[in-house]
Structure 1
């Protein structure tokens, strides 16, 4: 039976007027700040993302899950927030892009769940115009609960005075965040932030970032939000994968995995194990899951591990399922060339070659319709693929319904650039491994 108890928990949705305003760094700093005060912190990330949640997990000390009205769905988002409110002392939600960007947008999410909104504006090269932007964000959608505006990347005390002078009295000022020192910044590369496990001094950086929020209104405990119990329980899952042994690649080269995907596979009856294509030499499973990641950064190591390549070819030759996403698909190709022109011969169970590009080659929410349900997910890649394979299916782009990414199938191998969110269609997700 669904719970009838409303949970009250301080919560804040932190957004901005665009990408690149420093949202992840500030949310990570806030999470570390509250955690250092002994509070139980739960952080969520709006939209599809793998890299930011790695950083936010380290900052908060708890798993960071996606919230998205389209990919995850309103019902599951409501369950996630309700459960978090029942166990946490504060909930932080990081928005994606700008507050009103996309459909559904971050503003849609905040309004749906009654989350107070704090907006961040990168104030470099800006004076009193800061107030005009702040007023626009605060008033553009009156139904939003607007908590206030914070200025980021503030250069000096004089700069902070100029910003505050231009802010209308109707907009609460949450403070001026000084420009982060190098020791408090988060390094990035072509797909976004560097993976948390690769940043040796990440905890020191997070502590330094938290220190810079000291004394700001932004760092105060937000107002409590009432999270009503969901009106219904999730649909019961059947054991479609009962007894199925699924080996999941997980290492520095393959780490773009939604924890919700793994939980779902387990709930469907699968027994999960993990292996590293970088270092392991053997694999034994009924099915294999090769998620996305950074194979291009580990080309020579992957190519040199001939034992693993042989093990994967043996698995495929036996007719056992292998499902690969994005970077996992690139690993299955005959050859991959990185951005510097260096190439390597890889597994070779998919004919063709991949080429890393300097610019983004695919981006956006997409859906994959199957006879067993519609799986939702996203595309985000900097590579192109040259293959003689004939597509067996295409995804649909969420924004316009037009043809999206290609799906390939060779025997029991299924591969695509898509990153799928399995809970969006559990039966269809199970079929990927059967």
Structure 2
């Protein structure tokens, strides 16, 4: 887990904050959160946005909308102390903190409601009101009354058809739950999606700008804008985490250069993971498997998740870079490959168009996409170096892979989770790891350390 140092007497920070939640996925939470962030940014406000749960795509969009970094908040994966510290640090610099929920308000363990209750965040419910009127009032009233440790401050009606539609919803709401805004039913405001979620911000930056500005204008003049000016501040106490690391962890990757794949095919990267590697002394060198001819000089490689299936032909064509990675692997140097990175390490990958592309061939087997069906969920990677929490989210399958060295441990189910493979010093899995959960294990993994308490025949074949 995160290293704990001596607690310091640091005063709490007070900042206005809102938690954006919904009755289910697909209601428009990210669209509304981005619109709100852009509206306030255009007014000269500093807005810090957080996304509940493990997510890479929504934070990219929200970071562009707000002009500020966006981090995940997850009570299970990151822990309460880590979340509390991030909120405290944001409150020191922000005029408003926005937290976007995940799924429905009460879905998951822990849920968005659990997170809002833990930190005393007032909730605003976003609801797609297409095909209903008074029923929207009934639903939000039920959500607000389901638990007594949360406070619902109002409703944002998304996809509202007309002024009359708005009037019907507003008239049915109880006085304690005002209608704060009605977003019009306009495809030009919605955020583009694909099979794993939103389209990556880098791919549609100019289009997003137009959508942000249009949605921000749709919120101007709404009661929401005035309500934000009168929000009571929330006090965010610092987490019980020392801002420094133990000397051992500070030097755990000192002098090590870690090559990190980062481009349109490999972009599922928590900023918290990068920050941790730097804090442990590592130098990061980013490279693009799509565009770079050669691997940078480095001691370890991290191939994160992303969309290799959308770029299979280009990845297969870049043989000079692929050969460098193969030589790196043959030299018994550490490689961590997560989800899309793991698919890249297989022999072949078949995309949505049923086109098969040659990949690196570091792991026997092939991968292929399977439409809308997929796997997701929180799991702990049980590695020889130590347990690391993370999550799975993919719509592909593999075949012909070797026996795994272990599996992920599911958060709340006894069935084995995602397979974990080890070929020489390559560790590969569908799991996306959250490095701050166990920095020491991450350091051992990227150093290629032997784990001394294992029998010799079970040791990874690393130098």
Please indicate, yes or no, whether the TM-score normalized by the shorter chain is above 0.5: yes
CA–CA separation in structure 1 for the residues paired with 2:38 and 2:434: 28
Aligned equivalent of 2:66: 60
Matched, 1:162 2:163: no
Describe the SS at the equivalent of 1:125: coil
Alpha-carbon shift at residue 299 of structure 1 (Å): 0.7
**Deviant stretches of 4+, over 6 Å:** none
Deviations along 1:326-384, whole A, 9 cap, x unmatched?
00010111100011111111111111100111123210011123455421110000100
Matched, 1:259 2:271: yes
Counting matched residue pairs gives 433
Are the counterparts in 1 of residues 385 and 445 from structure 2 also a CA contact under 8 Å?
A: no
**Matching of residues 261-340 of structure 1 within 5 Å:** 261-283=273-295, 284-340=297-353
Aligned equivalent of 2:83: 77
Alpha-carbon shift at residue 147 of structure 1 (Å): 1.1
Describe the SS at the equivalent of 2:97: strand
Alpha-carbon shift at residue 202 of structure 1 (Å): 1.6
**Matching of residues 204-223 of structure 1 within 5 Å:** 204-220=210-226, 221=228, 222-223=231-232
Describe the SS at the equivalent of 1:84: helix
Describe the SS at the equivalent of 2:173: coil
CA–CA separation in structure 2 for the residues paired with 1:133 and 1:403: 37
Alpha-carbon shift at residue 253 of structure 1 (Å): 0.5
Describe the SS at the equivalent of 2:68: coil
Alpha-carbon shift at residue 235 of structure 1 (Å): 7.1
Unaligned runs of 5+ in 2: 1-6, 448-463
Are the counterparts in 1 of residues 348 and 359 from structure 2 also a CA contact under 8 Å?
A: yes
CA–CA separation in structure 2 for the residues paired with 1:266 and 1:230: 21
CA pair 371-234 structure 1, distance change in 2 beyond 3 A: farther
Aligned equivalent of 2:195: 190
TM-score by length of 2: 0.91
Aligned equivalent of 2:55: 49
**Matching of residues 22-421 of structure 1 within 5 Å:** 22-182=28-188, 184-199=189-204, 200-220=206-226, 221=228, 222-233=231-242, 236-237=245-246, 238=249, 239-283=251-295, 284-370=297-383, 372-421=385-434
Q: 1:430 aligns with which of 443, 447, 454?
A: 443
Are the counterparts in 1 of residues 170 and 178 from structure 2 also a CA contact under 8 Å?
A: no
TM-score by length of 1: 0.97
Alpha-carbon shift at residue 186 of structure 1 (Å): 1.2
CA–CA separation in structure 2 for the residues paired with 1:270 and 1:231: 25
Alpha-carbon shift at residue 24 of structure 1 (Å): 0.3
CA–CA separation in structure 2 for the residues paired with 1:231 and 1:290: 32
Cα RMSD of the aligned pairs, angstroms, is 1.3
Alpha-carbon shift at residue 167 of structure 1 (Å): 1.2
CA–CA separation in structure 2 for the residues paired with 1:265 and 1:382: 29
Are the counterparts in 2 of residues 3 and 229 from structure 1 also a CA contact under 8 Å?
A: no
CA–CA separation in structure 1 for the residues paired with 2:267 and 2:436: 19
Alpha-carbon shift at residue 232 of structure 1 (Å): 4.5
CA pair 181-362 structure 1, distance change in 2 beyond 3 A: closer
CA–CA separation in structure 1 for the residues paired with 2:59 and 2:378: 18
Segment of structure 1 superposing worse, 288-297 or 231-240: 231-240
Segment of structure 1 superposing worse, 363-372 or 194-203: 363-372
Describe the SS at the equivalent of 2:348: strand
Unaligned runs of 5+ in 1: none
Are the counterparts in 1 of residues 366 and 401 from structure 2 also a CA contact under 8 Å?
A: no
Describe the SS at the equivalent of 1:69: coil
